[in-house]
Structure 1
């Protein structure tokens, strides 16, 4: 699993933002400024849709005042599903999305989990990373399914408040 001090790997991804779906490279996307990446098991899934994503939408301004340039949500879904989720959640403009359909970046970060038992295949674990200029400053993961505590927006705001200016 990726750790503090590690560089974000270079992997081809699909970025979903207000401009649409853009082919990009993860190292470039996370390489400039402070970025919060939070990962969720799936678009439209109950905890992800009703708890994790809305927390970041609500905390967008608070995170920006703490020096965050971008907030990005990554899920192992295709870009069509992620685009629909971004629209339905009304998160665009606050949160950008990475559609990691084949779990390539998720696996490169070591944040993958086999959820085949529940019919979901390989998915991302629920986590949050604080990244500055492409280097991981902190990693937060959840221990229990359906739980959003250490990877939720309030915990990340608190973490950023504790950092020296």
Structure 2
């Protein structure tokens, strides 16, 4: 399992882009994790699924609300990672109004999630292999903090905890 001090695993996530610009075409675009994280401080949070109750009501909204404070604390980008396809993540981004605040990154084949070792087997619920709920602060591709939730919990991967960790890392 991924731990503090490890480099992020090599993987490619997908991001749905609504508007053409900055060299991006409309539709899913590949995001090379190593390249995208290089030289940046990133708050990454992962969750079991788009449009699920805790994820939509608490996890994503918390990071949207704290986006400015996180940036002020030295976080360059905020990533939300979920084992969903890019089209679902794009629709969820529109629903949650994440534009300019949180990058909604799809891990459709669970490549990144499996490489972190932070998988969650939800086959019994008809949802297949998913990601555990967690957050981490990553500096230049290296994990500085990692907050993994116990099954069914939402206590340590929230935006406020990440904000405190980002402030501490900056100090």
User: Per the shorter chain, which TM-score range?
Assistant: over 0.9
1:42-68 Cα offsets, whole Å, 9 max, x none, are 000000001000000000001001000
Partner of 1:26: 33
Q: Determine whether 1:100 maps to 2:82.
A: no
Partner of 2:148: 141
Name structure 1 gaps, 5 residues minimum. none
**Equivalent residues in 2 for 1:119-138, closer than 5 Å:** 119-138=126-145
**Structure 1 residues 6 and 15 mapped into 2: Cα distance closer, same or farther (>3 Å)?**
same
Deviation at 1:18, TM superposition (A): 5.8
Name the Cα RMSD after superposition: 1.4
Q: Determine whether 1:163 maps to 2:137.
A: no
8 Å Cα contact 2:49/2:55 also seen in 1: yes
TM-score (norm 1): 0.94
**Structure 1 residues 164 and 85 mapped into 2: Cα distance closer, same or farther (>3 Å)?**
closer
Deviation at 1:128, TM superposition (A): 0.3
In the alignment, which of 61, 71, 78 is matched to residue 64 of structure 1?
71
Equivalent-residue separation in structure 1 for 2:154 and 2:75 (angstroms): 20
Equivalent-residue separation in structure 1 for 2:170 and 2:107 (angstroms): 33
- Over 3 Å off, 4+ runs: 16-20
Deviation at 1:130, TM superposition (A): 0.5
Secondary structure (helix, strand or coil) at the match of 1:68 reads coil
**Structure 1 residues 53 and 81 mapped into 2: Cα distance closer, same or farther (>3 Å)?**
same
